[in-house]
Amino acid sequence: MIKTLEYLSLLIIPLFILFTVLYGSFKKVRVYDSFVAGAKEGPAIILKIFPYLLTIFVAIKGFQASGAFDALRDAFYSLFGFLEIPIEAVSMAIIKPLSGSASTALFTDIVQTAGPDSLATHMSAVIMGSAETTFYVLAVYLGAVGIRKTRYLVPVCLVADFIGIVIAIIVTRWFF
């Protein structure tokens, strides 16, 4: 079942590209020239995003390396200790919004140390699957159009992230 779905999702992009170029040709578009003209816009966009990405990445890496991340995790852990959430899941809950590659590395580590069928693994898996790398998305999407006034967007995202993680924990408890 999962294998079939995985195959289908692998099929989507190639089929979409095939359909696009065939439809384009059918409409007498010179697809090669169109593609080149579009691709030409790529570098300008990345140039716009790069400084935002750099700024946020420096802050995230520094936050992890300084020990502030560990302190935040321990604080959350003792604060919500009465809920008996595995500390691995608390780590995952904090790291997922910050960094995609770090959360993948952490998840692999949790699976190895806590075992693939443990509660810590299941909870981390649900958090990892249902949360998004919020800071990266914010930096890239806001940077792409040079938004400086974000109004109340950042608080909304942080509150929504927190609620999302609570939901992930509740759902895991309910299932496993």
Partner 1 sequence: MNVLWLVMICVSIVFAIVTGHLEAFTKSIFDGAKAAVEVSLYLLGIVSVWMGITRILEDSGLIYRIAHLFKPIICRLFLNIPGDHPSITAITLNVLANLFGLGNAATPLGIQAMQDLDSLNEEQGTITPEMMTFIVINTASIQLIPFSVIGILAGYGSSNPAAVVLPVLIATAISTLTALLVLAAFRRVFR
Per CB under 8 A, 131 contacts partner 1: yes
Output the CA torsion sign for 136, 141, 145, 149: negative
Question: DSSP for 44-100?
Answer: HHHHHHHHHHHHHHHHHHHHHHTSHHHHHHHHHHHHTGGG---HHHHHHHHHHHH-H
Interface stretch with partner 1, choices 74-82, 83-91, 135-143 (CB under 8 A):
135-143
Q: Which two tokens stand for residue 4?
A: 């079939």
Contacting partner 1 (CB under 8 A), which of 15, 75, 83, 160?
Answer: 160
CA distance 44 to 41: 6
Shortest distance, position 15 Cβ to partner 1, whole Å: 12
Per CB under 8 A, 7 contacts partner 1: no
Site string for partner 1, 84-123 (x = CB under 8 A): -----------------x--x--xx--xx---xx---xx-
CA distance 97 to 132: 6
CA distance 60 to 88: 19
Interface stretch with partner 1, choices 74-82, 83-91, 159-167 (CB under 8 A):
159-167
Shortest distance, position 83 Cβ to partner 1, whole Å: 16
Total interface residues for partner 1 by CB under 8 A: 96
Q: Of 154, 148, 104, 147, whose CA–CA distance to 129 is shortest?
A: 104
Per CB under 8 A, 15 contacts partner 1: no
Is 114 within 8 Å of 88 (Cβ atoms)? yes
Interactions with partner 1, residue window 18-77 (CB under 8 A):
20-21, 23-24, 26-27, 29, 31, 34-43, 45-46, 49-50, 53-68, 71
